[in-house]
Amino acid sequence: MRILLLNYEFPPLGGGASNASFEIARNLVRKGHAVDVVTSRMRGQRALEDMDGVQVRRVPTRRRGIQDCGLLGAVSYLLGAAVACSGLVRRQRYDVVHYFFGLPTGALALMVPSLRRIPSVVSLRGSDVPGYDDSAKVLPFLHTALHPVTRVIWSQAERVVANSGGLQRLAQSFLPEKPIGMIPNAIRSDRFKPLGPGAVRSPGPLRILCVARLVARKGISDLLEALALVGDREVELILQGSGPEAHALTVQARELGLASQVKLAGFRAPHDLPPVYAAADVFVLPSHSESCSMALLEAMASGLPVVATGTGGTPELIEEGQGGVLVPVRSPRHLAEALSKLVADPALRARMGAHNRQRVEDHYSWDVVTESYLAEYERAIDESKLRTSG
């Protein structure tokens, strides 16, 4: 099978959905399929690249940063990708086209007529679903304005798939007449793993880790307030990520008297993250909305106990009381209580971390996810044949 995979973010650009699309693509290639990707390019990146057998074409864009696309970045991707896709479809026969994100990526189906003749699958990732992120300043207004476009993109695709049950339900409420499937994310448990037997963690304060884009939706401001409430000077918070909230969070940490305890460590590429997780003691994800967090799966595979807000697909990953503590959204007090509980109990941390590691090994494999998508591709092809024959 030859697959055209479209995502405006692909490693090293972007976050969880970027990494997920790469893992699916590389596993498709391992299973004998051919995958072409059209994605964004920033200055210094090559236009053509072979990544583990995946043929990646990058089009110039006006992204604001590695983890910050912006409206201009999305629009410039669509314009460049439309030209690239038109050329590819003229030269190659594709069995299926896989759009990561209904918007912006799915808009290519409306911009390139030749794409509409190919069976398609749309992967919904979170921010592309109306009603998902009420923390954003502009996104809700854009969704409202683009409701008709979203409906057309989803309706014309043969298959639409969300990455968690929570996102699936939200998408279904927006377009009840369109069946929405569900395939979760997964994780490379061979790459993300706990410290080996007998390994000793480097000395220092107890480390709380949060890996996330520094945007309002991730709730990092709530986390800083919670750390101030914990009041333990022997605790360090590492914020691994970049984004537009970085300066505001730096100011907030200083105003809360946490400047010496909070480290804004910046963006790291996925292949550089395993030792970051392995050096931590607790992982925290205080998001206001979440679909199926890749960072959460990375932390679980690394054998870390978790404190997270019980939003979206997070309760589907973390078993309350077994692998971590789930708290209400936008509640620094509850975050502080949960963190204090784990900080004070090394045995509880070890028990929860081991549970999370086992859960990942048992349930979250990219091989299983890839097989699920292959089944969706086959369904899309069959439904396309029925549509054209009718």
State pLDDT tens for residues 147-166.
Answer: 999 999 999 999 999 999 99
CATH number of 206-363: 3.40.50.2000
Q: How confident is the model at residue 41 (pLDDT cuts 50, 70, 90)?
A: very high
Q: What is the pLDDT of residue 35?
A: 98
What is the side-by-side strand order in the sheet with 2-6?
48-51, 54-60, 34-41, 2-6, 96-100, 120-124, 159-162, 181-182
Q: What is the mean pLDDT of residues 199-227?
A: 90
Q: What is the pLDDT of residue 142?
A: 86
pLDDT at 331: 98
CATH number, domain 2-186+365-389, options 3.40.720.10, 1.10.3720.10, 3.30.1330.60, 3.40.50.2000:
3.40.50.2000
pLDDT given for residue 390 in this prediction: 60
Indicate if the pLDDT at residue 200 is higher than 90. Answer: no
pLDDT of residue 139: 79
Q: Percentage of residues in the chain with pLDDT exceeding 90?
A: 89
Domain regions of the chain by residue span: 2-186+365-389, 206-363
CA distance 243 to 259: 19
Confidence bin at 269 (pLDDT 50/70/90)? confident
Does residue 17 register a pLDDT over 90? yes
Q: Indicate the residue type of 14.
A: G
Per-residue pLDDT at 202: 67
- pLDDT of residue 361 exceeding 70, the answer is yes
pLDDT, tens digit, 9 for 90 and up, residues 167-185: 999 999 999 999 999 999 9
Confidence band, pLDDT 50/70/90 cuts, at residue 198: low
pTM of the model: 0.91
- In the predicted model, is pLDDT for residue 76 greater than 90? yes
Q: Which residue has the tokens 């044949």?
A: 385
Q: Is the pLDDT of residue 135 over 80?
A: no
Which pLDDT score, from 0 to 100, does residue 133 have?
Answer: 83
pLDDT of 388 reads: 79
Average pLDDT over every residue of 132-158 = 89
Write the single-letter amino acid at 167.
Answer: L
User: Which residue would you say has higher pLDDT here, 110 or 390?
Assistant: 110
Same fold, 2-186+365-389 and 206-363: yes
| Per-residue pLDDT at 58 | 98
The reported pLDDT for the residue numbered 291 is: 95
CA 164 to CA 208: how far, in whole Å?
26
C-alpha separations of 268 from 206, 221, 237, 381 in Å:
21, 21, 16, 38
For residue 62, is pLDDT > 90?
yes
Residues whose CB falls within 8 Å of the CB of residue 49, separated by 6 or more in sequence, listed in order = 56, 58
Mean pLDDT of 356-377: 97
What is the tens place of the pLDDT at every residue in 226-238?
999 999 989 999 9
Residue 137 pLDDT exceeds 80: no
Q: What percent of the chain is predicted at pLDDT more than 70? A: 97
Of 250, 252, 245, 248, nearest in space to 215 by CA: 245
More confident residue, 302 or 69: 302
